[in-house]
Structures are given as structure tokens and as C-alpha cells.
């Protein structure tokens, strides 16, 4: 398990006593995300990594201590950096949102320095980039299974009080992708919701966009993806 602080990690372990353990890392910090990857690597290679952490849209643009726009750092840069630094797993799942269809791959302004701030658009863009990451890894690492999942509008703090879907529905597809030997789950470079293989935003399939996002994240973090597994 992963908690953004020692307190959150302890709370998670108390709620899930059968979990093997927890590692700690605040994804708004590049240094703490690197430390999280190092801690995870001390446990050895994982069979599956599910990149689930994320922030929703905010009314104001916030810049982290690293000088990065916060939504982009947590939702995109952090999973990229963890993917680059952790031992490659056999399966990867990146959580996205149905709002990825509204995302715009404006790689010239990922931190919203040029455009007027729009929190929900920044969130939608970040969720598109999560699909781009999943598809880029599927192409770069043909020996792994890398997919994106839209969990639905789930009744969590992030989903808010008007969300329509229950928590078990939101978790089921990524658990299936992580654990199943069903041929339908043993695929790569796909976008799923409720186990349905859907078409994502067309930009996610564009190799130029994929390589551009990987290059942007590498420039920000100084970390490059290892060669294909």
C-alpha cells in the first residue's frame, strides 16, 4: 500500500491488516516521490503496480515546491517517475477518468503558465496524459501489460457528494486486470471501464504525443524509462 504520510499509511494498514506493508511518499514532491520508489524497490519487484493516486480540479492554480503545477505533478509526473524508478512489474494499471475524452494534449504548456487557468480542464488533460502513459508503456515495454482504467464517478472524497457509483464498482476492473488470467484481461495498450474495452481520446494513440509526454516528464524529473522489458 501507499500513503502520502506516515499517519495515512498507518490508517490504511489498520483498515487492511492483511496487507503486506505500506510505503510513504507525498506525490507533490519530486524528492519524496523518488524516496517512495526507493522504498518500494526494497520490497523487490512487484507483480502489479496500480497508479491510483490523484487530485481533482481546483479553482486556483497551485504551484508545488518543485515549481510544477500541482495537478500535473501528482496525476502525471508522479506516476511517470515511479514507473521510471521502480523495478518494472509484469502488469501496470493507470487510473484515468471519463473526462479524458475532453483532455487536450498541449505539451507546450503542461503547467498552465500561458493559458488562463481552468481547473477542470487541467484535470481532464491530466487524465488524458495518464492514458498516454499507459499506451506509451505498452509500446515501449512489450513484455509487460500496461492499461488504463476509467473507474467511473465513484462516491469518494475525490468524487464528491453527487457521485453515482459505489466504491466496489470503481475498484473491480483494475483488480481484474491485476489478477486475472482471463485472455480479455491479458492485453496491453487498452482503455477499460467496467471490463469493457473502449476507445480513448484519439490523442492517446498518437506516438508523437506519447514520445512528447515522455520527453517532457524526463526533462522535469531527470529520470528516463529503462529499456523495454
Q: How many whole angstroms separate alpha carbon 103 and alpha carbon 132?
A: 11
Active site residues: 123, 127
- pLDDT score recorded for residue 157: 79
Query: What class has domain 2-221?
Result: alpha beta
> Domain map of the chain by residue range?
2-221
Distance CA 99, CA 119 (A): 12
**Structure pTM?**
0.95
What is the pLDDT, as a whole number, of residue 229? 65
β-partners of residue 94 are: 51, 148
Query: What are all long-range contacts of 19-27, with beta carbons under 8 Å and residues at least 24 apart?
Result: 27/53, 27/73, 27/74, 27/78
The pLDDT tens digits of the residues spanning 95-154 come to 999 999 999 999 999 999 999 999 999 999 999 999 999 999 999 999 999 999 999 888
**What is the number of residues in the chain?**
229
CA distance 88 to 107: 26
- The pLDDT tens digits for 8-58 are 999 999 999 899 999 999 999 999 999 999 999 999 899 999 999 999 999
CA distance 83 to 130: 12
Q: pLDDT tens for residues 191-229?
A: 999 999 999 999 999 999 999 999 999 999 999 998 766
Amino acid at each position: 500500500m501507499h500513503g502520502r504520510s506516515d499517519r495515512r499509511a498507518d490508517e490504511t494498514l489498520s483498515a487492511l491488516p492483511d496487507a503486506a506493508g505500506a510505503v510513504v511518499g507525498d506525490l507533490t514532491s519530486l524528492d519524496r516521490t523518488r524516496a517512495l520508489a526507493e522504498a518500494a524497490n526494497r520490497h523487490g519487484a512487484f507483480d502489479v503496480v496500480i497508479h491510483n493516486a490523484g487530485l481533482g480540479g481546483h479553482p486556483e492554480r497551485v504551484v508545488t515546491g518543485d515549481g510544477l503545477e500541482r495537478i500535473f505533478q501528482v496525476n502525471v509526473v508522479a506516476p511517470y517517475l515511479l514507473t521510471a524508478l521502480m523495478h518494472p512489474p509484469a502488469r501496470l494499471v493507470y487510473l484515468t477518468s471519463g473526462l479524458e475524452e475532453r483532455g487536450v494534449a498541449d505539451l507546450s504548456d503542461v503547467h498552465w503558465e500561458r493559458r488562463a487557468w481552468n481547473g477542470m480542464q487541467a484535470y481532464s488533460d491530466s487524465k488524458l496524459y495518464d492514458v498516454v502513459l499507459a499506451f506509451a508503456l505498452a509500446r515501449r515495454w512489450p513484455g509487460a501489460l500496461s492499461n488504463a482504467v476509467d473507474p467511473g464517478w465513484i462516491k469518494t472524497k475525490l468524487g464528491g457528494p453527487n457521485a453515482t457509483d459505489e466504491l466496489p464498482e470503481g475498484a473491480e476492473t483494475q483488480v481484474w486486470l491485476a489478477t486475472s488470467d482471463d485472455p480479455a484481461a491479458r492485453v496491453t495498450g487498452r482503455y477499460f471501464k467496467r471490463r469493457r474495452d473502449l476507445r480513448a481520446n484519439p490523442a492517446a494513440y498518437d506516438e508523437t504525443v506519447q514520445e512528447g509526454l515522455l520527453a517532457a516528464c524526463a526533462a522535469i524529473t531527470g529520470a528516463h524509462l529503462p529499456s523495454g522489458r
